Amino acid sequence: AQTVTQSQPEMSVQEAETVTLSCTYDTSESDYYLFWYKQPPSRQMILVIRQEAYKQQNATENRFSVNFQKAAKSFSLKISDSQLGDAAMYFCALAQGGSEKLVFGKGMKLTVNP
Amino acid sequence: GAVVSQHPSWVICKSGTSVKIECRSLDFQATTMFWYRQFPKQSLMLMATSNEGSKATYEQGVEKDKFLINHASLTLSTLTVTSAHPEDSSFYICSARARLARETQYFGPGTRLLVL
């Protein structure tokens, strides 16, 4: 069975600083995909970043980057130059290759202080 | 690209009535659509997976006669909550996956359902 664990329920960061959100996962498959989704107060789920397990290079999207440690089954999200609009719930998720389902972590609430 | 809409965004209904929620992929063809339920301060719970032209696959514990799903075209899936009761009040979210999308799901804005 696949599992996704986000052990920190809440974090806060000062505006313009950097914060790292942690996520660990477990799967027996070699073909899988990892995602970070953001859910702001509007509750719209927004895809932040995606990582294919077969790619060694860490994914980057503007101020968002991941640290993908495959052997350790760790997938952390780094947010640089934090902005007030980054305040949201962040969900880490896993999908096995060929499987249609996403397995979500419990989420982590990020607060950005001005 | 990859925009998913949901309608309505808010619905209040009386106990015993049925409510239909629509999920549309606006700029891509969705071979698979998903329906989730989210309780306050919790993660998303998958209810069912629907593929265009075939019956939906429901997760364990989800009543298929209660939550009717129809995926009539490559851009539209509907969730009907039949004979709604107050315990069905929740936030319902759909998502869609395109062909060759590498397992990526794009989410609609959600529907808040309140059953009185």
- In chain B, % of residues over pLDDT 90: 75
Look at residue A2 in the predicted model and tell me its pLDDT: 87
Asked if residue B103 has pLDDT above 90, the reply is no
- Note the pLDDT tens digit of each residue in B16-35: 999 999 999 998 888 899 99
Phi, psi of B88 (to 5 degrees): -85, -10
Q: What confidence score (pLDDT) does residue A101 get?
A: 87
The pLDDT value given to residue B92: 98
Which string of DSSP letters, residue by residue, matches A54-82?
Answer: T--SPPEETTEEEEEETTTTEEEEEE-S-
Q: Does B104 touch chain A (CB under 8 A)?
A: yes
Binning pLDDT at 50, 70 and 90, where does residue B101 land?
low
- Judged by CB atoms closer than 8 Å, whether chains meet at B102 and A50 is answered as yes
pLDDT at B55: 87
Residue numbers in A near B49 (CB within 8 A): 100-101
Instruction: With CB atoms and an 8 Å threshold, state whether A45 touches B95.
Output: yes
Q: How far apart are CA B113 and CA B14, in angstroms?
A: 11
Check if B3 contacts A (Cβ < 8 Å).
no
Over residues B73-81, mean pLDDT? 93
Count of residues in chain B: 116
Interval B80-100 mean pLDDT = 92
Residues of chain A neighbouring B96 (CB-CB closer than 8 A): none
Q: Are B52 and B82 in contact (CB under 8 A)?
A: no
Residues of chain A under the 70 pLDDT cut: none
Q: What is the pLDDT of residues A24-39, one digit of tens each?
A: 999 988 889 999 999 9
